Structure 1
Amino acid sequence: MNDRLMRVLQRVPTMAGAQLTQLEDNARRHSTDPAAQVILHEIGEERRRRVESGAKAEEERADAIASRVADLNLTERLGLAFTEIPLSDAELARLRVLHDHPDQNEYELMVLAGDRGPSAFNLIIGMLCYRRRAYLPAPPPSRTPNEEFWSGLVCELTPRNASNGSKTHGWRLRPETVLALRRLALLPEAA
């Protein structure tokens, strides 16, 4: 290999993402050149190393958090999770809607939250828990086979009868969630 190619290859591990993309774009424009093919291969290997390294670091971080919260109850886990990964405005708004309007169904909650579809509400609550999964216990099973009910870590489903007489359910915050949010002054104290 020539010296210039060796210098480029030696810099690949130290390049920022944008620099790698620029180098990749340049190499693709000369893809018939064997040196460009070597550069493209090395860029691919570097990206794979970065993904593996990031995944390993994330796994180690999750293990460390799991050790810290192992002896905590759900209220304490939620409080820590909401402190270390603060709630977004959208997440907090939906938790407040649930608090202020217990036992409403997804359609009613959708209207109250200003969402465009009922699944948005459930997805936001589910992702709220999923993003903080290292702090929380395993989610309960979903009614859908082979799925987890992430929202079930902060909410409970309450049986309801629909206006047409069919069985349905409403949503309400778990008592542990209400307590954790009150301790963080994110919900008002009980009257």
Structure 2
Amino acid sequence: MPVHQRKLEKLNGGPIGQNYEEMKSKTVHNVSSYTLSSTEERLLRRGWDFCIENKLSLRSLCRHMHNASQQLMKSCKKKQFSNLSDDELKALKSLKSNKNIVIVKADKGNSSIVLEKESYLKKAEEILKGNQFQEITNKNYHQERENELNKYIYSLLKDGIIDQELRFRLQSTCSSLSVFYGLPKIHKAGYPIRPIISTIGSFQYELSKYLAKAIY
């Protein structure tokens, strides 16, 4: 490796291959009262497609590879290289610990939006109070709908419409509630949010995936 390249990498304080010119083109919109440090802003400019290296789990390795556990533990003691610089790791911890702001992806593009948490929650509550949503007071509503779906899927099995394999794939067990969140519209005044409902893990998720594939 050329000497000048090593010096540049040391100067950047980051891993090999970082394209800082490309990072500069990614936009960060800070509409909160919090002042981002240069490192925090650089971290956010990496965009939502950037993935932080996962830490290696020694417990998981020992559990699934008993025969080679001792050798694996010795080899995994070696330093793990991160794809974030030391300053960026500190900035990441700083942003995660700040309870007064919310960092979300923009409605369009790969931009990051820094919002006051209070403002973000207020925008979300205004949408939830609209006519398109209805408050459900029945605490057992979710479980009842899950049981209803499973009962219907079982009836399809009894009628010979689906097989046992598809039944187990579509039926739901210990599902979670759908998650509501909002994506700010950066090209509109006041940064209104577009409501998103993620059904991943919900009782109708697997059925929705199956129907979408069958239809399209």
Q: TM-score range by the shorter chain?
A: under 0.3
Given the two structures, how large is their TM-score scaled by the length of structure 2? Answer: 0.26
Given the two structures, how large is their TM-score scaled by the length of structure 1? Answer: 0.28
